[in-house]
Amino acid sequence: MIRFKLKEQMAEKEFQEDRRITLLEVAEATGIGRITLSRMLKPGAVVRTDTLDLLCAHFGCRLEDLAEFIADNAKNSTGRK
């Protein structure tokens, strides 16, 4: 499963800028819909690569700072149940 670290990136930006960052602000700054950003906060979200590109540019981060792979223990090494 891919887990998106959007909350972590927002928290880091809040810390750096010493102010509150909202999903609406990120949506307006990137052109990504607020609903899309909200979905990224939940497990199993499906996100397009151009969305990830916009978020990496906005936060000034690398893809691995925004998403991580978490192995599902119920699957075998081929990724199939």
pLDDT for 19-36, tens place per residue?
A: 999 999 999 999 999 999
Q: Is residue 75 in some structural domain? A: no
CB half-sphere exposure, 21, CA atoms < 13 A: 20
Q: Is residue 18 in some structural domain? A: yes
Q: Is residue 48 in some structural domain? A: yes
Q: Is residue 6 in some structural domain? A: yes
Question: Which residue in 69, 3, 13 sits closest to 41, CA to CA?
Answer: 3
CATH number of the domain enclosing 37: 1.10.260.40
Q: Is residue 74 in some structural domain? A: no
Predicted local confidence at residue 35, as pLDDT: 94
Q: Is residue 11 in some structural domain? A: yes
**What is the pTM for the complete model shown?**
0.82
pLDDT at 66 over 80: yes
Q: How confident is the model at residue 51 (pLDDT cuts 50, 70, 90)?
A: very high
The domain in which residue 11 lies consists of: 2-69
